[in-house]
Structure formats: C-alpha cells, structure tokens
Structure 1
Amino acid sequence: MFKKGIYTLLFGFLLLLTGCFEVIEEVTLNDDGSGDVTLTLNLSRSKTKINSIMLLDSVNNYKVPSEAEVKKHFAEIVKTIENTSGISKVSNTIDMEEFIFTLSCSFDNIDALNTVISNFSSKKEAQRIKNHKHFAFDKATQTFTRSYHYDVAKEIRNTNMKDRKIFETASIRSIYRFSKPIVSSENKMAKISGSKKAIMLKVTAQDIIKNRNSIKNKIKLQN
C-alpha cells in the first residue's frame, strides 16, 4: 500500500506538467561494491507552471498534492529506506521553491542499492527489480552493469494522450564514479571523463520510448 501511494503521488505530480523535468542518478562505487547514491528529481524548469497548478484542486482528473502531502510522502520514503538492510547515512532535501527533490544514502553492497531503487517503484516493478537486478557489480571482472527491465513504451501506450505530454521533454541523466579507471563502456552515447574515473549518460524519455537509446550500460574497470 505504501509503495502504491508513493508511486501514485509521484506519477500524478508529474502528470500535472507539460514542461521539462529531469531525473538524475548518481552512484559512487568503491572497490568492494559499497558506495553512495544520490537520486534527484529536478522540476525547476517547470516551477512557474507548478506554482500555478498548486493553487488548484485537480488537473486532468488528478488531485493536486499539497506541499504538506508532498513532504509527508517523501518522509515516508526516507523512513522506509532508513530501515533497509545495508543502507546508512540517509538524507534528503525538498526545495519547494525550485521544486528539486533529492535523496542520498550509502549502501554496503549492490543488493542494497537495488532495494533503494525499488522503493520508488510500483509493487509490480519492485518485484521485477528483485528478479532482474537494475545494478550489478562483478568484483572478479571489475564490471559494473546498469540494466533496465521496464517497458516504458508499453506503459505510455496505456495512458491517455494528455498524460503522455509529460514525457515529451523529460530526460534521465546517470553519473557513475569509480576509484579505478574505466577501460570500456558498451553504451557509446556515454561520455567518459578525462580522469577516466567517471562516466555520464543523458537520455531523453523519447529516446527510451522509441528505442533510440537506453540507460543500460556495461562498464569495465581496470583490473
């Protein structure tokens, strides 16, 4: 019930927008598979429209959440993640002026990281993450894998035309940092930093929906 509530609130909140928003996923991975993650939902480019919408009761048949409701649901997310095995140093920020939401924590292993990601998903998607890990790290081969098993295009087809507008300019940016140099990256759209210890990939929602690109990647580190 909790996950369904969070999923509905976040999706409903995004459905109020026709402007831009960006999801940013940052992972810093240590040699032993532990690390830190920061997840950011940046709606700042749509803040003028959001401020206007927040004055209404509903839009497109979706109830407009109050500031108190948004903060309450994010507090519930934080509490759930704090109680997750292998997770520590949980913190979050909510900027209701710029509409930027962040959540950060440390993880002891990749399984704990996958659990964190599943807390932002519907019950069905959370089970999919459990069965097919979104993140994997093979210490023997020093290979970090970012997978994705969610059929976005199918989900979009199940929404009405008005609701689909939120994905027209949405984007996802992933930034991964390592202590060892990167040897190779399977996703050719990803950009490796000059130090070769960080890699960034920005993908639009339209690219994912139309199968032009993906957030999937397999990154080989120096062994």
Structure 2
Amino acid sequence: MDSIQGYKVPSKQTIQKEIDEIVSYLKKSDGITNVQKKIDFDNFIVSISFAFKDVANINTVNQNVLKKLKIKGLSNASYAYESKTQTFQRSYQYTKAAVLEYNKLKPEVKNVFKDASYTSIYRFEQLITSSNNPLAKISKSKKAIMINTGILGLINGKTDISNRITLSK
C-alpha cells in the first residue's frame, strides 16, 4: 500500500529512517541524555524519550524536531522550571494554524482524527505534590504525570494541555 485516500504512505523503512534521524539529533544535542525510541507499527505508536540537564534544552530540541518534521505553526509549547519553588511548567498556546491545516483535509481523512489521541507523560525524580491541569493524572508512585486527550480538542483549541506541576522539596 503506497497511498491512502490520495496521500502517500511512507514505508516502514522511511519512517524508521526519520525516527533514527531524530534520535541521532537528540543524542548530539547539548544537555540531552538517555535517548530511547520505541516503534510499534502494528498500533501506529512512536515513542521517543530522553533525560535532560536543563529545561531550556527541551525548548530548543522541540522547535528543531518540529522543523525537521516540517510541522509549521502547529505547536506553540514551551517549558520552564523554577528551582526555588520546585515547579515545572509546560505552557501551551493554541494556534489557528492547526485548524486551518485540518480544514484543508478531505472529509474521509478528517475522520481519522475523530478517535486519535495525544498522550504526554513526564517523569520526575522527586514526588509530585500538585498539578493545575484537571486532565492530568498523577501516578500511584507520584513520580509521573500523564495527560491523555483527543486530538480534535487540540486542533480546535478546546483543550489546553498547559500544566504547572509542583514537586516536593
């Protein structure tokens, strides 16, 4: 199968090559360590994880990876960490570019997004004491937090994935 509904489907080899390029970039990035990837072609899930020395490293890497993937204007996220208050913050701001790109799709392609989801997991060495996003779920160990939401809410600007996470001192 080389296309679906008029859209070229990349081969497994092409997808693997793109992911390997991102992993290679991350491994060479300042302050980024322990880069790992998982690809599940049966369930269409790609996971890339890494540790970082400073939150500023994430902002740079995020923008560069989005450029590499040719994703323009669809993500406006940034990260910050305040050591005095032990607070990690992800700021997310909806951009109209997402819905404009989505609206260009054929109806049958839009239907694919109906059941698609976005999942974000953050793991910490310290315990999580609080989170201000009602969608966030703190793990039983209190060292990880997850947001899982439908993609359409992000595309349409109805879901906010910003989160202020306070860690134990």
Q: TM-score, normalised by structure 2?
A: 0.78
Instruction: Could you list the structure 1 runs, at least 4 aligned residues long, displaced by more than 6 angstroms after superposition.
Output: 126-129
- Determine if the alignment matches structure 1 residue 216 to structure 2 residue 162: yes
| Counterpart pick for 2:143 among 190, 193, 197 | 197
SS of equivalent residue, structure 2 residue 129: strand
RMSD of equivalent CA atoms: 2.8
State the structure with bigger RCO (CA 8 A, min sep 6), 1 or 2: 1
Partner of 1:111: 56
Secondary structure of the 1:120 match is helix
- CA deviation after TM superposition for structure 1 residue 145, in Å: 0.8
Label 1:127 to 1:214 Cα distance change in 2 as closer, same or farther (>3 A): closer
Q: Letter of the 1:136 partner, please give it.
A: A
Q: Work out whether residues 77 and 119 of structure 1, in 8 Å CA contact, stay in contact via their aligned partners in 2.
A: no
The answer for the alignment partner of 1:186 in structure 2 is 132
2:52 is aligned with 1:88: no
Instruction: Provide the rounded CA distance (Å) in 1 between the counterparts of 2:67 and 2:162.
Output: 20
Q: Which position in structure 2 is the counterpart of 1:140?
A: 84
Count of residues in Structure 1 that have an aligned counterpart in Structure 2: 166
2:46 is equivalent to residue 101 of structure 1: yes
Cα 1:168–1:122 change in 2 (3 A) is farther
Q: Any idea what SS the aligned residue of 2:133 has? A: coil
Change (3 A) 1:126 1:149: farther
TM-score by length of 1: 0.62
Q: CA deviation at 1:150?
A: 4.4
- Indicate how the Cα distance of structure 1 residues 157 and 182 shifts in structure 2: closer, same or farther if over 3 A, else same: same
How much has 1:158 moved relative to structure 2?
3.6
Q: Is 1:160 the equivalent of 2:160?
A: no
Please tell me the residue identity of whatever aligns with 2:114: E
- In structure 2, runs of 5+ residues without a counterpart are none
Deviation at 1:216, TM superposition (A): 1.2
Partner Cα separation in structure 1 for residue 54 and residue 107 of structure 2 = 41
Deviation readout 1:38-73 (Å, 9 max, x if unpaired) = xxxxxxxxxxxxxxxxxx232232222222222222
Larger displacement relative to structure 2 (113-122 or 72-81): 113-122
Deviations 1:68-99 (A, max 9, x none): 22222222222222221212232323344454
Q: How far has the Cα of 1:144 moved from its partner? A: 0.8
The reply on whether 1:57 has 2:12 as its aligned counterpart is no
Distance of 1:210 and 1:65 partners within structure 2: 27
Q: Deviations over 1:82-130 (max 9, x none)?
A: 221212232323344454333232221112222332343147867897x
Aligned residues of 1:91 and 1:105 also touching (Cα < 8 A): yes
Contact 2:94 2:154 in 1 (8 A): no
Aligned-pair distance for 1:187? 0.9
Are 1:134 and 1:149, in contact at CA under 8 Å, matched by a contact in 2?
Answer: no
Inter-partner Cα distance in structure 2 for 1:192 and 1:69: 36
Q: 1:193 to 1:101 in 2, by over 3 A?
A: closer
Q: Percent identity?
A: 38
